[in-house]
Amino acid sequence: MTDPARMHDLSPETTAIVDDVLDYARRRELYHDVPLDKPLTQRELVRLASGTITEEGIGARRAAGLFENVLAPACLSTDHPGYLSFIPSAPSKAATAFDVIVSASSVYGGSWQEGAGVVYAENEVLRWLAAEFGLPAGSGGVFVQGGTIGNLSALVAARDAARRRRRAQGRDDPARWVVVCSSEAHSSIAAAASVMDIDVATAEPDADGRLHGDAVAAVLDAYGDAVMAVVATGGTTNFGIVDDIDTIADVAADRAVWLHVDGAYGLAAMLVPRMRSAFLGVERADSLIVDPHKWLFAPYDACALIYRDPAGARLAHTQHAEYLDPLTDGADWNPSDLAIQLTRRARGIPLWFSLATHGAGQYRAAIEYGIDLARRIADEIEARPGLSLVRDPQLSVVVFRREGWDAATYRAWSDKLLDDQIGFVVPSSHNGQPVLRFAIISPLTTYEKLIEILDTLA
């Protein structure tokens, strides 16, 4: 008969499993040349990796070998210096190593009662970020899974605040709540609105893709007090453009509308002193997000959601149940009260460890490197015949085109670049036309690597 405790005991078999897993983790962590790798087809993976779930198990060594030799190489390494698509991830070695500790420690990060130590450490990071962004003392929040959950949670809090305000005035809710954002806002805003069953009204940015307060004011005039929130973007995903947050904040304040700043990718640039003026107005936000798994060098998955007044977020998000009374009846800081979640991993701890290890100055230097490299490669693109910039880079995203190429040519080039293991650069689009973009995050991405990729466009 199978021993029920077999998976949890400290037998030599269990020790061997732990040793094998940690040995692989150490080797992967200390690779000198991280492989880019590429996906396999469903048919190839069925042939190579099927039949792993059996009644008796296939054993740890075989399972680990299958992951190392088949499954992992079928996944792109987002920390590869040539991974330049979407928004890459480039976690520090300290952060990824400590991520193992978070799991091994079996800590729960949803409440102070159960995880006071990790909640305190996460709050240290959140307070530091809030101060860097100019938010007042008392601001705070929680680390959630990603920008989509962060934006959704903030908008839920915004609607709750608007609803409470109307009810205090003896007024009913509008027929449909509305959130206002740029037509170039991240897709997660529309996704959040769909989940919440509210409407999105878009304001048009200027020719450079930057949203201004006057455009927002026109939309607010059209929708009146049905608007529950305005979303400004602190670095668009496709171009890295920062909205004119200060004038948007003026309009939101005049109309007493919640201001949320989606800075999932770009807000980290505020850690660089010379970039702070580009984000003027962020300090007036009611809520904001920034994703450490993007430009703050943490592993997936982590989004910092910060509120100017966390008390309002608690009113919107605290879950109530008899078994939760020991948590909700007290005054403790419970992260689960601040977003759409209850169970949560202490996902902010790898960032805390890396920040505590290396210091904020190292982070500032690494972010500034990406900004400077984007400018340098943009100048090179402008100097090359057949290549042209679509817009000047503001942060670390460079969008450009190869003259005379259509979408199929871009795709064929991108596929060959990956097949040759040079880089991962997928086409994007702008105004219906295909373009290429470099999203530069990793401090290991060099000018020489980018030149190597540009040379393949000749």
Task: Average pLDDT across each block of 10 residues of the chain; the chain has 458 residues. List them in order.
Answer: 82 93 94 93 98 95 96 97 97 97 96 97 98 98 98 98 97 98 97 98 97 98 98 97 98 98 98 98 98 98 98 95 81 93 96 98 98 98 98 98 98 98 97 97 98 97
Among 272, 230, 292, smallest CA distance to 394 is for: 272
Q: Which pLDDT value is given to residue 1?
A: 55
Q: Per CATH, which fold does 360-455 belong to?
A: Aspartate Aminotransferase, domain 1 (3.90.1150)
DSSP for 267-327? GGGGGSGGGGGGGTTGGG-SEEEE-HHHHT---SS-EEEEES-HHHHHHHH----GGGHHH
Tokens at residue 85, please?
Answer: 């698509």
| Separation CA 283–CA 364 (nearest Å) | 19
Degrees, nearest 5: CA angle 58-64-68? 135
Phi, psi dihedral angles at 99 (to 5 degrees): -60, -30
Tokens at residue 340, please?
Answer: 């759409």
The CATH 3.90.1150.170 domain(s) of the chain lie at 360-455
| Separation CA 232–CA 223 (nearest Å) | 17
The CATH 3.40.640.10 domain(s) of the chain lie at 100-358
Q: Which pLDDT value is given to residue 395?
A: 98
Phi, psi dihedral angles at 305 (to 5 degrees): -105, 120
pTM greater than 0.85: yes
Report the DSSP pairing between strands 199-203 and 178-182.
parallel
For the domain spanning 100-358, the CATH number is 3.40.640.10
